[in-house]
């Protein structure tokens, strides 16, 4: 796993360059947003079970055919697997949030997910919507906790939904 600092330094090292003004500005932005990113991650960590449960309930209310006979979340096993996957996306979103880099999402979530969902015929739309709902819940909790800059929350969730939405299943 890499973070924004590691990635930046690696890129400059490969090019054999000293850190320039752009690099310093990028590092400054990374460190100045650090408190907001850590606070958001702490909110996720403290409320993960509640976030997943609430997101699952909202998703199944919006798309009830998922839990009807023949739906992808029909049966206790499938329902549990859906919530497990949502927890998985939330956990990795918190890692990417702290790292300020989406590499971990590509490496640990999206690559394997594409293959799995393709082989199982799982519809991607409800997955994307579930991730969006979790983002909305985390943003609401961050605002309730008076997090000044909650915009940092969007990037990992938006990245996952954007990447998954480009997959044709």
Task: Measure the CA–CA gap between 142 and 43, rounded to whole angstroms.
Answer: 7
Reported as a pLDDT band with limits 50, 70 and 90, residue 169 is very low
pLDDT, residue 11, reads: 95
pLDDT at residue 154 tops 80:
yes
pTM of the model: 0.90
Q: Which CATH superfamily is domain 35-165 in?
A: Phycocyanins (1.10.490.20)
Q: Please list the residue range(s) of the chain that carry CATH number 1.10.490.20.
A: 35-165
Q: What are phi and psi of 149, to 5 degrees?
A: -115, 90
pLDDT at residue 25 tops 70:
yes
């Amino acid at each position: 796993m890499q973070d924004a600092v590691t990635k930046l330094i690696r890129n400059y090292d490969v090019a054999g360059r000293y850190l320039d003004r752009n690099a310093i500005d990028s590092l400054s932005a990374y460190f100045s947003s650090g408190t907001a990113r850590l606070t958001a991650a702490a909110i996720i960590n403290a409320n993960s079970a509640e976030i997943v449960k609430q997101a699952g309930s909202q998703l199944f209310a919006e798309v009830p055919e998922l839990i009807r006979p023949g739906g992808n979340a029909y049966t206790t096993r499938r329902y549990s697997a859906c919530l497990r996957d949502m927890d998985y996306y939330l956990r990795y979103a918190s890692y990417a949030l702290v790292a300020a880099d989406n590499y971990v999402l590509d490496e640990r979530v999206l690559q394997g997910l594409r293959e799995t969902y393709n082989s199982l015929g799982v519809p991607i739309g409800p997955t994307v919507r579930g991730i969006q709902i979790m983002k909305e819940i985390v943003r609401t909790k961050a605002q309730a906790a008076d997090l000044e800059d909650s915009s940092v929350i969007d990037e990992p969730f938006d990245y996952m939904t954007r990447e998954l939405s480009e997959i044709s299943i």
